[in-house]
Amino acid sequence: MAPAIPIPAGAVRLRAPRPRASGVLAFLVTAALSLWGPAPRPAFAITQAEEMELGREIYMEIANQGAIFTDPYVSQYFQRVCRRILSAAGPQSLPFHFNLVYSNSLNAFAVPGGYIYLHTETMNSLENEGQMAAIIAHEIAHITSRHFALRAEKNSVSTIAGLAGMIAGALIMSQGGQSGAALGQAVLMGSQGATVQAMLANSRADESEADRKGRQYLIKAGYSARDMYGAFRIMNEKSFAISSRIPTYMSTHPGMSARLASTFADQAEAPPAPPDPGYLAVRDRVMALTADLARVRNIMNNRLKENPGDASALHALGLLAFRSKKLAQADELFQEALKLSPGNGEYLSDAGDLAYERRKPDDAVKLFLEARRRGDSTPQTALGLARAYEMLGRDAEASKAYDQAVEAAGDRYPRALELAGLFFSRKGDVAKGHWILGEFFSQTGDAKDATFHYAEAAKLPSGARYKRRAEQNIRDLEKLLEKPRKP
């Protein structure tokens, strides 16, 4: 992370003035609700519009906890695979959103409105792209089958609410620690336990249907059925359930062993998939940026003992050193990796970020420009170039690069929006700064601050070009702000 840049008096204020409150418990309850959904109206199926609104609300809660993993290189790869599977599923009547979530547990889940989440540790545990695609296909099938809406139609308000509370308890317990375990056990012992059985048959049936449909999507997308068997075998072996201390019926994906023996029985003896260097390189990056430092260091060092020319392992160790603020060590490792893979845009861009962090903006500019020359169009490279130009006082070039970073970022790299918004504010384009910061807070789940910045952009004379979009965004966000928050 680069050092914070001071904001002069009169510039855009990053957050609206108000007290804030958040916590781990809020995220855990939200995560539980994301698995089963909030209490619907009894005896009526929720509409697709309501599902989409609920999915957006859940996303905002999760994003506001900083739980979304947004590395541009990983995201680019992940989105490509997800869209390939979605295309195989056929035309859809609602947009889909695919996200990676920071987590040291193995799981993936779909929530209403086309939102799908994959835990980073799941990606760290799989062996190839097809296995990751298989899990995404399974979750897409949950949404195309509208499993949540059907459960909502068949169950009462108290059933849904009770189940969500029990899942929240299981999630809290799975975090470890005496206080979490005690709270989790207390929730699991609640009076709603008897209603769980009414939902179990549905959820098992849902899993079977998602297995069947997901397998069809996977094969149509050009992957092998053995990838789905391999993915679920790994998940099962590594305790796909929330925790070994939680009853199997509390798993977000129950009956895994039985499903392996039935739906995927024909693949049990299939030959293993060939090595997948592309996936493994992406997995190395995810591990280096999210997993336990000592664990990843041990894995990479063991690989280098077997193959000293393993550029991906060297670069991963460089990322670990960067995470640990051992900048000189990171530089040595990055340079070694670049000697083995000199045209790697990802390695060049990371080295540029490191040069910026070491306050060597001229070196950073050279590295980012070389990454771009090699075809790297990620927002990380555009943002890095903008920051390096800004450090050098080359504001015109920085402004152009910040615009490029914002355009490339889309809704996948909010850090580019945050730094660009602050830059334009400092340089006098206050309306533009407010608009971009509104986009940043919208993406990171902060509806109040997003509304504040959109409103500021819209009311300034120079913000006329943002007024219509800002007012619409404010109306959409106010719907979320009007809803009572979950305890």
Q: Which residue has the tokens 């991963």?
A: 316
| pLDDT tens, N- to C-terminus, the chain (487 residues) | 443 333 433 455 567 655 433 333 333 333 333 333 333 444 445 678 877 887 888 788 888 878 899 999 999 999 999 999 999 999 999 999 999 988 888 888 887 789 899 999 999 999 999 999 999 999 999 999 987 767 666 655 444 443 433 433 333 333 333 333 343 344 344 444 444 444 434 467 788 888 899 999 999 999 999 999 999 888 888 754 444 444 343 344 556 666 776 667 777 777 878 889 999 999 999 999 999 999 999 999 999 999 999 999 999 999 999 999 999 999 999 999 999 999 999 999 999 999 999 999 999 999 999 999 999 999 999 999 999 999 999 999 999 999 999 999 999 999 999 999 999 999 999 999 999 999 999 999 999 999 999 999 999 999 999 999 999 999 999 987 876 544 3
CA distance 350 to 288: 13
pLDDT tens digits, one per residue of 214-257 = 999 999 999 999 999 999 888 888 754 444 444 343 344 556 66
Class in CATH terms, 292-342? mainly alpha
pTM here is: 0.83
pLDDT tens digits, one per residue of 51-86 = 788 788 878 888 887 889 999 999 999 999 999 999
Res 378: pLDDT? 97
CA distance 308 to 290: 24
Helices (H), 225-275: 225-237, 256-262
CA distance 172 to 181: 7
Helix (H, G, I), strand (E, B) or coil at 128: coil
304 touches 310 (CB < 8 A)? yes
Tokens of 335: 């340079």
Residue type (1 letter), 383: L
**SS3 per residue for 318-334:** HHHHHHCCCHHHHHHHH
Helix (H, G, I), strand (E, B) or coil at 375: coil
162 touches 195 (CB < 8 A)? yes
Q: DSSP string covering 71-110, please?
A: -HHHHHHHHHHHHHHHHHT---SS--EEEEE--SS--EEE
What are the sequence ranges of the domains in the chain?
24-267, 292-342
